[in-house]
Homo-oligomer: A and B are copies of this chain.
Amino acid sequence: MSNSPHITEAESEVMKLLWQKEPLSASEIISKLSDQMSWTDQTIKTFLNRLHKKHAIRFEKAGRNYLYFSLVSQEEYLKTENRSFLDRVYNGAVGMLFTKFLEEETLSEKAIEELQQLLEKKKKS
């Protein structure tokens, strides 16, 4: 259970693709990201390599193609990022974090109702 490696912002764009659909071939990853991010193929290959080195992804050879799989789940990633953000910016005060986001962001009525249900559920545990 090695704790998740640190995934940088740029690297996370690769991970986000894999979390949506897995596996993906190198060419799929490269073509999507060179569009979305305006990165050259070389840049994307660097990220794939770094992610591989830190065991955040793995790949399999299939003939002349390579298939990529994530080794770090989005759950783990979000958990780590949430924690560090919460501590860094709010000194761990979740209540304050919620309050601030509620002040600043707009939520659809539906979203609000979903949150209210979540809170009700939470109350009972």
Chain A residues at the B interface, C-beta cutoff of 8 Å:
9, 12, 16, 78-79, 81-83, 85-86, 88-89, 91, 94-95, 97-102, 104-105, 107, 109, 111-112, 114-116, 118-119, 122-123
Contacts and interface: CB of A to CB of B under 8 A. Distances in A.
B82 A100 contact: yes
A100 B116 CA distance: 14
Given A85-B85, A97-B101, A104-B79, A116 B119 contact: yes
The DSSP consensus for interface residues of chain A is helix
Nearest to A81: B89
In the complex, the count of this chain's copies comes to 2
A16 B118 CA distance: 32
B82 A101 contact: yes
